Amino acid sequence: MNRAVAGRSGRGVRSDCLVEITETGGSGVRIEMQSKVDVLYGRANRALLEELISFFKLDGVNVRVEDSGALPYTIAARFETAIRRLNGVDGTGWLPPARVQGTGSVRDRFRRSRLYLPGNDPKLAINACVHGADGLILDLEDSVASSEKDAARILVRNALRAVDFGAAERMVRINQLPLGLEDLDAIVPQHPDLILLPKVESAAQVTEAAAHIRRLQDGAGSAYEIYLMPIIESAKGAIEAYSIACASPSVVALAIGLEDYTADIGAERTLEGKESAWMRGAVLNAARAAGVQAIDTVFSDVTDMDGLFTSVLEAKALGFDGKGCIHPRQIPVVHRGFAPSDAEIEKAKRIVLAFDDAERQGLGVVSLGSKMIDPPVVKRAQRSIRLAIMSGLLENDWKETPDEQ
Amino acid sequence: MSNDLQRNAAGRLVPTQINGETAIPYKGVGAHVPSGRKTAPLISRCADYPADGNKVVADLKTALERAGLRDGMTISSHHHFRNGDLVANQVFDAAAELGVKDLRWFPSASFPCHEPMIRHLESGVLHHIEGSMNGPLGAYASEGKMRGTGVLRSHGGRYQAVQDGEVHIDIAVIAAPTSDPFGNCNGVQGPSACGGLGFALADAQYADRVIVVTDNLVPFPCVPWQIMGNHVDYVVVMDKIGEPEKIVSGTTNITKSPDRLLIAELTARFVEAAGILKDGFSFQAGAGGTSLAFAIFLRDMMREKNIRARFVRGGSTRYLVDMLEEGLTDYILDGQTFDLAGVASMRDNPRHIHTNPFVSYNYHNKGNIASMLDVVVLGATEVDTHFNANVVTHSDGRLLHGIGGWQNCLFSKCTILPIPSFRDRIPVIVDEVTTLCGPGELIDVIVTERGIAINPLRQDLIEATKNSGLPIRSIDEIKEEVEGICGGVPDKPQFNDNIIAAIKWVDGTVIDVVRQVAES
């Protein structure tokens, strides 16, 4: 008798469920459901299961669910995973009604913080948006066991449809190609804002992913822009960083992964980071040369907030735009680190006012006192001002507020 | 229960008789005016007690017999050992051996370690419990299996009920970590030291007979004497009265949940934005991971801004003790220690003050500490859109927690409930709370991870925080958002007509009842 199981239950499991489907050889469907929220959502859950059973045209099976407070999109994902494991049916056609759609991203938006969320654990994704990260990464790669890749893919696909990620950029880290192409098949139609490509070592890998995304989007008639962030985490990747950054117009940033890189070059990862100094410089320079953002690695000690802050200041000083986060409490520290200093804000204000002045007078050049200000410097100053406002260090209407000096 | 039900001032149908005694329906905050005098204990005379002061008797059974234990009596105990209490169960084991029936257990609180009481409820030794019923006892009562009706009171309400004569204690059993043969005792010394003995004060003052049980007998005088031996009839010595390490429960560790840390941080920032955080202020943060995390965030703000509190109300923990020792507060006024650092500090630090429900919480009093507090943070299982809150039942309708000092603390100048907007899939903000424990007019602010809702009655707080940058939203808006996440408006638990417990307000009136959950 064929039987398949998906999801998790038991002590310590929250917001997830276990679905077991057994073929009986007979006819009819028997549902057995135990739920922690039976009093509140028992009726709703049974209606959902009946809907799923009818969608998948199931007959001659027993369906057993142990529910630890899973949301409907999770129950549906676990159900679909079990069915696929049982008989390979593709259930892409069924999805809970979309409550949330991505609103799209912007090429050069701030990407100071990006929080990793394990793709196969629904618990952390539901409330992830409340912590204020610039980006949220639903991870299909390192945080997912190889035997659970199918389950994670379906859960992440459903999460993109059902979970409100607020103002955060909706990111997915897929697996290395070719497995990553299957991830893209599931993910791309759900309008993620950005795809992280792990362990990229050549421009060809980027173009392959970009082409696959384009094919999927053309097929669906979608013009939704999906950006790419290749992660450089090997010696070869570091050498190829510039061509990787230039491989596709969809690339908006290069990110760094130091755990794998230090292992690859045969060095121990230290807090000081001398072993990766060249690589970080190389990737940063490649990113800037290609006109994309440069994003630093994660800081792995989640208890050491002072260490994290120091590390963010260092990343900012080197020219990086952002840092990876593996715990929500790291986000405010990262934002504090990337916030412009008082001196930076003052300088930026003067430059922006001078630029406004030049605009008003129709002048081609901006000057501050006797100094000419180049366009990149103006752009940089405008960005600092936006960041200062975002960080709560400057009022939105600062131009109207007379300077106190 | 064939009983007249009456709609009280909160709109809840409540009985006018509970366990055969008259009960007054809740009339509104401050509306019920008591009259008459407090109850008085029996007059004793020294001739009936050993002149040498030695009141030690052979064992618990002997003490209960001498105290005149008989059917239908009320026996009290306290909960300073929390889940490590070894005495209360033995009292009723001894009563069972003596063949006594229909007792009322009147604990200051019960814990999962008291699950063996179910045996005595089944056998008829116990008639019913009046006090919190957690975990297994709550589930038992919720299924309608207890013969009498449970009565849940706050710590202050328990003192009030004894003092006003609503509950007459026949025999009080006080587990005391150190005692002398005369019955002078304290909770801060000895191998089983658990902190103060404040919750046993009313029992000592008003019970007909008082038995002190200790595992550390010292020669007279036992100093300090948190309970005076002059109240005590018998002293019993046994091997071990409690496991003090179990006063540290899961609720006395700082939360690791990122969402709850965020809630705690928002709460601290709210306190600052509202202008409450200033030199000489006071706050109370009890057990519970979020409350503790709040205290840590507040501490960091106090350090940064060089602010010193005049006093902090405990449940004390090592975090509050650190604040005291660092000079961030002049005093800890402590009702109950939640870890062993708190016990040691209460013993050794003269600025760590032992308090009791009479001074802290009793509503039929000439004032109390609770209402002097600038800010208090408390938990809740549910809150409704009128800011009414529930702390005793779970959303599935089962009795789960006691009230503790919760109701009493609502009288502080600013009452904040930092709570998650949903637990797993269970929305915490509802249209009407399953069980009403605290009226919304006393609850000022709800802090969730998805926003802060201020009670419209507190225009001053709304005004003070409007430009704070904090995520201030209406409670209805947060509720709708969370219902969207959880999959719609949840069904409600179903009950039958059987009232299994009454919830008393701080003045002894009945604010709500808990009914038996219906079979599904």
Give the 3-state DSSP-derived string for B489-520, with helices as H, strands as E and coil as C. CCCCCCEEEEEEEEEECCCCCEEEEEEEECCC
Omega within 30 of 0 (cis) for the link into A376:
no
> A98 CB near a chain B CB, below 8 Å?
no
- Residue A75 or residue A363, greater confidence: A75
Pairs across A and B, CB distance < 8 A: 68
| Interface touch A41/B425, C-beta < 8 Å | yes
Task: Report whether pLDDT(A90) > 70.
Answer: no
Residue A116's pLDDT is 97
> B395 CB near a chain A CB, below 8 Å?
yes
The pair of three-digit structure tokens given for residue B388, joined into one six-digit string: 């009414």
Give tens-digit pLDDT for A151-184: 999 999 999 988 999 999 999 999 999 999 999 9
Q: Are B329 and B299 in contact (CB under 8 A)?
A: no
Give tens-digit pLDDT for B61-90: 999 999 999 999 999 999 999 899 999 999
Pair type for strands B415-418 and B445-448: parallel
Residue A364's pLDDT is 75
> B490 CB near a chain A CB, below 8 Å?
yes
Question: Could you tell me the maximum CA-CA distance found in chain B, to the nearest angstrom?
Answer: 72
| Interface touch B487/A72, C-beta < 8 Å | yes
Preferred mutation among B398, B425, B452, B481 to probe A, highest tally of A CBs within 10 A: B425
Give tens-digit pLDDT for B353-389: 999 999 999 999 999 999 999 999 999 999 999 999 9
Could you tell me where the beta strands, DSSP code E, fall in B148-202? 150-152, 171-176, 178-179, 185-186
Q: Please report which confidence band the pLDDT of residue B33 belongs to, taking 50, 70 and 90 as the band edges.
A: very high
- Out of A38, A41, A392, the one facing B487 most closely (by C-beta) is A41
Q: Please report which confidence band the pLDDT of residue A86 belongs to, taking 50, 70 and 90 as the band edges.
A: confident
> A68 CB near a chain B CB, below 8 Å?
yes
Task: Report whether pLDDT(A368) > 90.
Answer: no
| Interface touch B395/A39, C-beta < 8 Å | yes
Residues contacting residue A137 through CB under 8 Å, at least 6 positions apart: A114, A115, A116, A117, A171, A172, A173, A196
| Interface touch B425/A44, C-beta < 8 Å | no
The residues pairing with B128 across neighbouring beta strands, listed in sequence order, are B104
**Angle B145-B109-B287 from CA coordinates, rounded to 5°:** 125
- Out of A43, A130, A328, the one facing B491 most closely (by C-beta) is A43
> B259 CB near a chain A CB, below 8 Å?
yes
Q: Are B432 and B384 in contact (CB under 8 A)?
A: yes
In chain B, whose CA is at the least distance from the CA of A164?
B485
> B480 CB near a chain A CB, below 8 Å?
no
Alpha carbons A242 and A148: distance in angstroms, whole number: 34
Task: Report whether pLDDT(A103) > 90.
Answer: no
Alpha carbons B511 and B513: distance in angstroms, whole number: 7
Residue A91's pLDDT is 58
> A212 CB near a chain B CB, below 8 Å?
no
Q: Is B499 left (phi over 0), alpha (psi -120 to 50) or beta?
A: beta
Task: Report whether pLDDT(A293) > 90.
Answer: yes
| Interface touch B424/A68, C-beta < 8 Å | yes
Residue A96's pLDDT is 55
Share of chain B above pLDDT 90, in %: 88
Shortest distance between the Cα of B487 and any Cα of chain A, in A, equals 7
Alpha carbons A122 and A13: distance in angstroms, whole number: 10
DSSP assigned state of B337 = B
- Out of B258, B484, B493, the one facing A131 most closely (by C-beta) is B258
Task: Report whether pLDDT(B313) > 50.
Answer: yes
Q: Please report which confidence band the pLDDT of residue B182 belongs to, taking 50, 70 and 90 as the band edges.
A: very high
Alpha carbons A366 and A374: distance in angstroms, whole number: 7
| Interface touch A329/B261, C-beta < 8 Å | yes
> B257 CB near a chain A CB, below 8 Å?
no
- The number of C-alpha atoms within 13 Å of B212 and in the hemisphere containing its C-beta is 34
Q: Please report which confidence band the pLDDT of residue A93 belongs to, taking 50, 70 and 90 as the band edges.
A: low
Residue ranges of A 103-142 with Cβ closer than 8 A to chain B: 126-127, 130-131
Alpha carbons A140 and A11: distance in angstroms, whole number: 24
Residues of A in contact with B450 (CB under 8 A): 127, 130
- The number of C-alpha atoms within 13 Å of B177 and in the hemisphere containing its C-beta is 25
Q: Are B373 and B409 in contact (CB under 8 A)?
A: yes
Residue A367's pLDDT is 82
DSSP one-letter string for B461-488: HHHHTTTS---B--HHHHHHHHHHHHTS
DSSP helix/strand/coil, B173: strand
> B426 CB near a chain A CB, below 8 Å?
yes
- Residue B1 or residue A260, greater confidence: A260
Q: Please report which confidence band the pLDDT of residue A376 belongs to, taking 50, 70 and 90 as the band edges.
A: confident
> B258 CB near a chain A CB, below 8 Å?
yes
The pair of three-digit structure tokens given for residue A116, joined into one six-digit string: 């990793």
Residue ranges of A 145-164 with Cβ closer than 8 A to chain B: 164
Shortest distance between the Cα of B249 and any Cα of chain A, in A, equals 17
Q: How far lies A140's CA from each of A121, A168, A197, in Å? A: 11, 18, 11
Provide the mean pLDDT of chain A.
91
Q: Please report which confidence band the pLDDT of residue A360 belongs to, taking 50, 70 and 90 as the band edges.
A: confident
Alpha carbons B134 and B113: distance in angstroms, whole number: 10
> A329 CB near a chain B CB, below 8 Å?
yes
- Out of B258, B259, B424, the one facing A37 most closely (by C-beta) is B424
Alpha carbons A132 and A223: distance in angstroms, whole number: 28
Give tens-digit pLDDT for A218-234: 887 777 889 999 999 99
Residue B254's pLDDT is 74
| Interface touch A71/B425, C-beta < 8 Å | yes
Task: Report whether pLDDT(B258) > 50.
Answer: yes
DSSP one-letter string for B371-386: GG-SEEE---SEEETT
| Interface touch A328/B262, C-beta < 8 Å | yes
Alpha carbons B11 and B30: distance in angstroms, whole number: 17
Alpha carbons A190 and A102: distance in angstroms, whole number: 8
Give tens-digit pLDDT for B325-349: 999 999 999 999 888 899 999 999 9
Instruction: State the helix-helix crossing angle for B289-305 and B258-273, rounded to 10 degrees.
Output: 40
| Interface touch B493/A39, C-beta < 8 Å | yes
> B224 CB near a chain A CB, below 8 Å?
no
User: Per residue in A185-198, is it b (16+ CB within 10 Å) or e — as a string?
Assistant: ebbbbbbbbbbbbb
Alpha carbons B35 and B46: distance in angstroms, whole number: 33
- State the ipTM, two decimals: 0.90
The pair of three-digit structure tokens given for residue B112, joined into one six-digit string: 């999962």
- Out of B262, B426, B487, the one facing A130 most closely (by C-beta) is B262
Residues of A in contact with B261 (CB under 8 A): 329
* Reduced 3-state DSSP string for chain A: CCEEEEECCCCCCCCCEEEEEEECCCCCEEEEEEECCHHHHHHHHHHHHHHHHHHCCCCCEEEEEEECCCCHHHHHHHHHHHHHHHHCCCCCCCCCCCCCCCCCCCCCCCCCEEEEEECCCHHHHCCHHHHCCCEEEEECCCCCCHHHHHHHHHHHHHHHHHCCCCCCEEEEECCCCCHHHHHHHHHHHHCCCEEEECCCCCHHHHHHHHHHHHHHHHHHCCCCCCEEEEEECCHHHHHCHHHHHHCCCCECEEEECHHHHHHHHCCCCCCCCHHHHHHHHHHHHHHHHCCCEEEEEECCCCCCHHHHHHHHHHHHHHCCCEEEECCCCHHHHHHHHHCCCHHHHHHHHHHHHHHHHHHHCCCCCEEECCEEECHHHHHHHHHHHHHHHHCCCCCCCCCCCCCCC
Where does residue A90 rank: exposed (0-12), middle (13-18), buried (19+ CB within 10 A)?
exposed
- The secondary structure element, H or E, covering residue B264 is helix B258-273
Q: Are B437 and B403 in contact (CB under 8 A)?
A: yes
Average pLDDT, integer, range A352-361? 88
In chain A, whose CA is at the least distance from the CA of B450?
A130
Residues contacting residue B321 through CB under 8 Å, at least 6 positions apart: B332, B341, B342, B344, B345, B349, B352
Alpha carbons B479 and B476: distance in angstroms, whole number: 5
> A392 CB near a chain B CB, below 8 Å?
yes
> A395 CB near a chain B CB, below 8 Å?
no
Q: Please report which confidence band the pLDDT of residue B1 belongs to, taking 50, 70 and 90 as the band edges.
A: very low
| Interface touch A69/B395, C-beta < 8 Å | no
Task: Report whether pLDDT(B399) > 80.
Answer: yes
Pair type for strands B5-7 and B426-427: unpaired
The pair of three-digit structure tokens given for residue B401, joined into one six-digit string: 């927690």
Alpha carbons B435 and B456: distance in angstroms, whole number: 22
Q: Are B11 and B496 in contact (CB under 8 A)?
A: no
- Out of B258, B487, B493, the one facing A44 most closely (by C-beta) is B487
Residue A402's pLDDT is 58
Provide the mean pLDDT of chain B.
94
Give tens-digit pLDDT for A180-223: 999 999 999 888 999 999 999 999 999 999 999 999 988 877 77
> B102 CB near a chain A CB, below 8 Å?
no
Residue B63's pLDDT is 98
| Interface touch A131/B486, C-beta < 8 Å | no
Share of chain B above pLDDT 70, in %: 98
> B397 CB near a chain A CB, below 8 Å?
yes
- Residue A272 or residue B157, greater confidence: B157
Alpha carbons A87 and A93: distance in angstroms, whole number: 16
